[in-house]
Amino acid sequence: NPIMELFKNSEFLSVVLKWATIAILILIGLMLATLFILLALRSFFGVLENWVTAFATLRNRRNEVKIDLPEWLKDMIPILARAWPDLPPPVITEEEKKKKELLPDIEAIVIPVSKAADLFYLIGKEDPAHIALVVAKLPEDTKSAFLSRLPLDRMGQVLASLSNPQYVEPEVMQRLKDELEKRILGVVGGEEETVRVLDATSLSIRLKMLKTLERQNAELYRNIRKRVLVFEDLLYYTEQELNVLLSKIPIQDLTIAIADTLTPLNLKEKIMRSLPKRTAQTLNELLSMTGKPPEDKVLSAQDKILKAAQKLIAESGLRHPLSEMSLPK
């Protein structure tokens, strides 16, 4: 066999063994190199994964820092925001978006408009940012009535805070809602009660109480005067509104109410113009035949007209004559 003869040749056999050994060593080297490369790649991707996780964590982390800014700087924030309207909005991650979508919508803080004065007593002197949290959840009519009681500079601060979105935990807002609705029911007295007391008194006593209040507490007087009726307030009705009101009044009561010099001349003339022509003629005839009634009778007749006006206002058949007026400070 020629092949067997070749293997019997020691020189040929040594060459074969030499190259076989080299081939095996090369194969082992390739295997070790491949294994080393695989281990290196695994380690590299592990480190890369840790880096990606770390950067994602740093990006999503929210560092909340409370800075107590001076008042003048707080007032400058809205101005600066208008000066640079192109500033990029804050980045909101997908996780935050999903969290906000899952948050329950907090219901409105149920405080009727009649309690706006009591609410001002409770929170009117709080931080504007805290007031803004409450105002954002008030019914529209209560919101308007409450804001109208704030001084102009404080109202501006509240509106500035309201224009800046802020995140509040739903549990905190719910506790705030429950606490305010509970405390508002426990308020005793206040401006509403003062108005009710004044409306319940006779006109003569009401006028005396208003004069005393104006002298002793001008701010309280301005706040409640817009809601307390006196006879001269009828001057702020239009002639059509006066016609609606006076159609409910017996002409004898109207005659006594304006028969004395207690009623301003311009109000008398406006009342005459608001009446139908025949009714105005009858009223003039009655006035000419009526002497000077006692003051208490005049005030009593005027009070009957004011009570009729209050009833129409309560039934939404008539606006309050001072609802659009600004009393001097």
Q: Dihedral angle at the C-alpha atoms of 217, 218, 224, 226, nearest 10 degrees?
A: 170
Residue 207 identity (one-letter amino acid) = L
DSSP structure string for 270-293: HHHHHS-HHHHHHHHHHHHH----
Burial 271-296 (b: 16+ CB within 10 A, else e): bbebbeeebeeebeeeeeeeeebeee
Q: 310-313 long-range CB contacts below 8 Å, 24 or more apart?
A: 310/199, 310/229, 312/244, 312/245, 312/248
Instruction: Find out whether 270 and 242 touch, Cβ atoms under 8 Å.
Output: yes
Span 261-290, pLDDT tens digits: 778 899 999 999 999 999 999 999 998 888
Residue 102: per-residue pLDDT: 45
Instruction: Find out whether 155 and 230 touch, Cβ atoms under 8 Å.
Output: no
Instruction: Find out whether 128 and 159 touch, Cβ atoms under 8 Å.
Output: no
Query: How crowded is the C-beta side of 57, counted as CA atoms within 13 Å?
Result: 6
Nearest to 305 by CA among 260, 266, 250, 237: 250
User: CA-based Rg of the chain, rounded to a whole angstrom?
Assistant: 43
Span 284-314, pLDDT tens digits: 999 888 888 888 899 999 999 999 998 998 8
DSSP one-letter code for 318 = S
Residue 8: per-residue pLDDT: 55
Strand boundaries in 203-302, DSSP class E = none
Q: For every one of its 329 residues, what pLDDT tens digit does the chain have, with 9 covering 90 and above?
A: 455 555 555 566 677 777 888 888 889 989 998 888 888 888 887 777 777 776 666 655 544 444 455 554 455 555 545 544 454 555 556 665 555 444 445 578 888 887 887 888 888 888 888 888 888 888 888 888 888 878 888 888 888 888 887 777 888 888 888 888 888 877 767 777 788 888 888 888 988 988 998 899 888 888 888 888 899 999 999 999 999 999 999 999 999 999 877 788 999 999 999 999 999 999 999 988 888 888 889 999 999 999 999 899 888 778 888 876 544 44
Residue 234: per-residue pLDDT: 92
